[in-house]
Structure 1
Amino acid sequence: MPLSTPANRPCNGKHFDNPLTVPQRSAVPQPPAQRKARRLVPRLLSWYGKHARDLPWRRTRDPYAIWISEIMLQQTQVATVIPYWERWMRALPTVNHLARAKPERVLKLWEGLGYYSRARNLQAAAHQILKNHQGQFPNTPEAIRALPGIGRYTAGAISSIAFNLPEPIVDGNVIRILTRLFGRREDPKAKVLQNELWSLAETLVRSTEDCAALNQALMELGATVCHPRSPNCTDCPVKRSCTARKDNATHLIPTAPPRARTEARSIEVYWITRGNRILLQKRPKGFHNAGFWELPNNETGPGIPQPPQSEPLTTVRHTITKYRIQLMAYAVDKSRALKGRWCRRDELESLPITAAHRKLLRQLPALNEAAKTTA
């Protein structure tokens, strides 16, 4: 359950004088919208107190732990994040541990979560905290937002949850809640609507002394009740104030963006062995998933002078964001081996390896047998 708000962390007061938290006058919604927003706060807090999930990062006010959870939760489901977060906190429990870790170890801990720039930004931010803040996580929104990989939402989440500061949050969940509550059918990415949503979120968080609980209530409501499809309006604590529900328009709000076109890619992968060792190469800088290990291929390297003419040993399909990737594995004689690292099988689990190539490596026995038949 959520922790109570520390008495020495007031949510209202002098922090309101911070110019970064005051919306531009043109962005402030009309007073009726603000009054409606304020009336929602007691219901949201009461509901959250009864229905909040017991998540491990909610049992602490450590800004480092909260920061790691917020970055992991970007584009990733809670159920997936929990074991990753727990494993990360055991391995790298403080900013100092993260800053001093080998980059390869950081990537290995992140392997499987995707969007690996998040992991690299975490370590870059840890270095900055060590350099500029003596290893102490900064406690002001401005300093938090200055860290690599942290935008306005993440800075607001950390500031409010760890330090109980009145900083608003607007992410996909909050956009969905607010556009439905206020019946807004415009493009959620439109600047005018974005400004209004941030102003409404600010009104909400400034209307309580428990900023941490209020912002987490919005997160929780969007994650467990106000779903993108088939929202569970019956259990919503603010259903009587919801314009989209009254208009039977929850399926229309928020306006969905057009689907991005998928792009197909076929990549040759080279299965090169020497005894019980397999040749791997590290993805170079400038490529997606840079720093990860994988089998030699013609995507990140020049390929081989004479591509294999036989059928592939196996084919693996994998999807990353808008890309539909097909990996075709070919057995290649070691005399044509490219530069790389010769790895034993028992080393593979300790290395950060891209998900698609991990799928291939899980087929090791079958691949070895297939390679023998083509030799």
Structure 2
Amino acid sequence: MKTWTAEELQQLRKRMKVWFSKQGRSLPWRETHDPYAIWVSEIMLQQTQVATVIPYFHRFLDAFPTVTALADAPEERVLLHWAGLGYYRRAKQLHAASKVIRDQWEGCFPRDYDAILALPGIGRYTAGAISSFAYDMRAPIVEANTQRLYARLLRLRGQLTERTIQNHLWKFASDILPERSGSGRLNQAVMELGSQVCTPKAPLCHECPLQSLCPTYAHSEQSEIPSPKPSKVYEDKVEVALLVRDEGCRYLLRRCQAGERWAGLWDFPRFDVTSAQSEDELMTSASRQFSDRFGASVCLSDEAMQIKHGVTRYRISLRCFHASVEGSNGNPLEPLRGEDSPDAVWCSVHRLTEVPLSSTGKRIAKHLAGLQR
């Protein structure tokens, strides 16, 4: 592992300052020192690409311009504006933290690092990002892009998730920061360099301002450092979504419960049929599970569409069938348990856009809207 001298660290700061002033992208959250806006951007950017986040960022701040406005909003409205970004737990924690700021900090975002770190959904990286970007605190940051960059600048071997490796990365992240002002700008610069130049594969070393200081480049080990992650093992699942329609062309929606995938969002009734050995078993299993949940028999008809998607460690094949409730005499609301429950509703196609749906629910809704054109 390389040990950096004080002179080399100073060279790094100077070179990064010059490079970022010329090559840094203009992004909306970089044009402000508002901790609330920076916080929203950092939560959205977790596991989501910049280009995807930008329009969501603008719409979210238009809907909730202050932390108090976010805190006062019902969760369902927050989830509706988050729909499409995925990882909905982020939105719930953002909402929960906004209530803490409203209630404990009188709506003013805290300036103390430990107070920021104590907020729901905020870890060491996010606390450091808000502290340095908004307040220019000397707060180190380590995330996906910077840890790859730092590992190469240190010539660190081993899995980045190892505690010893993480300790080295966080120490280096702290060592590079200037003693006085400029920590926020430098943190943005190293994040940019990691994202745009020091990429996981085929890094653009010829464009890197730190090339002559990089031991990994000197030893041509860019493909070896950081160490490749172990291959992820996925489990295949088959699920059925039932597009249950009543006589008024409304579709049955169910709110996902706590502990379930997409908790708090709405979805079409959906059931795991992985164990089914045939088409008949698949349809029988879905019908039986619908009856167990809603207290009514359902008749499946044509298959509407298939969706393949991944969630955590699962690769899911979702088969979507049109369906109707049997024996309803034209009014399928009658036999359904929980018909007046806030967790089961009938919704017309044109109103589906007003409901915070799961990601696959949105794709199904788009398909149904196309059928009505």
Task: Please point out which of 85, 88, 100 is paired with 1:128.
Answer: 100
Contact 1:38 1:207 in 2 (8 A): no
Amino acid at match of 2:32: T
For 1:7, the equivalent position in structure 2 comes to: none
SS of 2:131's partner is helix
Unaligned runs of 5+ in 1: 1-28, 370-375
For 1:303, the equivalent position in structure 2 comes to: 290
Tell me how far 1:200 sits from its aligned partner: 0.8
Matched, 1:291 2:264: yes
For 1:262, the equivalent position in structure 2 comes to: 234
Matched, 1:344 2:311: no
Contact 2:136 2:184 in 1 (8 A): yes
Tell me how far 1:116 sits from its aligned partner: 0.7
Task: Please point out which of 304, 308, 325 is paired with 1:313.
Answer: 304
Map 1:211-290; keep pairs closer than 5 Å: 211-274=183-246, 275-290=248-263
Tell me how far 1:186 sits from its aligned partner: 1.7
Distance 1:65 1:303, change over 3 A: same
Tell me how far 1:88 sits from its aligned partner: 0.5
Moved more, 208-217 or 122-131: 208-217
Distance 1:294 1:186, change over 3 A: same
Deviations 1:260-294 (A, max 9, x none): 11122211221211222111111111112111111
Identity of aligned residues (%): 39
SS of 1:285's partner is coil
SS of 1:61's partner is coil
For 2:123, the equivalent position in structure 1 comes to: 151
Moved more, 314-323 or 269-278: 314-323
Distance 1:208 1:184, change over 3 A: farther
Q: 1: distance between equivalents of 2:219 and 2:150?
A: 15
Tell me how far 1:257 sits from its aligned partner: 1.4
Q: 1: distance between equivalents of 2:141 and 2:37?
A: 18
SS of 1:279's partner is strand
For 1:325, the equivalent position in structure 2 comes to: 316
Alpha-carbon RMSD: 2.3
For 1:334, the equivalent position in structure 2 comes to: 325
Amino acid at match of 1:349: T
Tell me how far 1:297 sits from its aligned partner: 2.1
Distance 1:135 1:351, change over 3 A: same
- Output the TM-score relative to the length of structure 1: 0.85
Q: 1: distance between equivalents of 2:49 and 2:290?
A: 37
Q: 2: distance between equivalents of 1:207 and 1:31?
A: 19
Task: Please point out which of 2, 11, 15 is paired with 1:43.
Answer: 15
Distance 1:318 1:268, change over 3 A: same
SS of 1:304's partner is helix
Deviations 1:151-187 (A, max 9, x none): 0000000000100000000111111111111211122
- Output the TM-score relative to the length of structure 2: 0.86
Deviations 1:94-151 (A, max 9, x none): 1001001111111111111111110000000000001111110000111100000000
Moved more, 69-78 or 30-39: 30-39
Map 1:356-367; keep pairs closer than 5 Å: 356-364=360-368
Q: 2: distance between equivalents of 1:215 and 1:364?
A: 46
Moved more, 90-99 or 39-48: 39-48
Tell me how far 1:195 sits from its aligned partner: 0.9
Moved more, 191-200 or 328-337: 328-337
Unaligned runs of 5+ in 2: 274-285
For 1:4, the equivalent position in structure 2 comes to: none
Contact 1:34 1:203 in 2 (8 A): no
Q: 2: distance between equivalents of 1:299 and 1:285?
A: 18
Q: 1: distance between equivalents of 2:77 and 2:174?
A: 39
Distance 1:366 1:54, change over 3 A: closer
For 1:15, the equivalent position in structure 2 comes to: none
Tell me how far 1:49 sits from its aligned partner: 1.2
For 1:142, the equivalent position in structure 2 comes to: 114
Deviations 1:294-338 (A, max 9, x none): 111225994236675766333222222332212222233234754
Contact 1:166 1:211 in 2 (8 A): yes
Distance 1:34 1:200, change over 3 A: farther
Tell me how far 1:227 sits from its aligned partner: 0.8
Q: 2: distance between equivalents of 1:309 and 1:144?
A: 51
Q: 1: distance between equivalents of 2:134 and 2:56?
A: 20
Amino acid at match of 1:321: T
Amino acid at match of 1:352: P
Contact 2:9 2:176 in 1 (8 A): yes
Distance 1:298 1:283, change over 3 A: same
Q: 2: distance between equivalents of 1:181 and 1:294?
A: 46
Distance 1:368 1:155, change over 3 A: same
For 1:160, the equivalent position in structure 2 comes to: 132
For 1:119, the equivalent position in structure 2 comes to: 91
SS of 1:284's partner is coil
Moved more, 332-341 or 50-59: 332-341
Distance 1:101 1:309, change over 3 A: closer
Amino acid at match of 2:366: R
Higher relative contact order (CA 8 A, sep 6+): 1
Contact 2:304 2:320 in 1 (8 A): yes
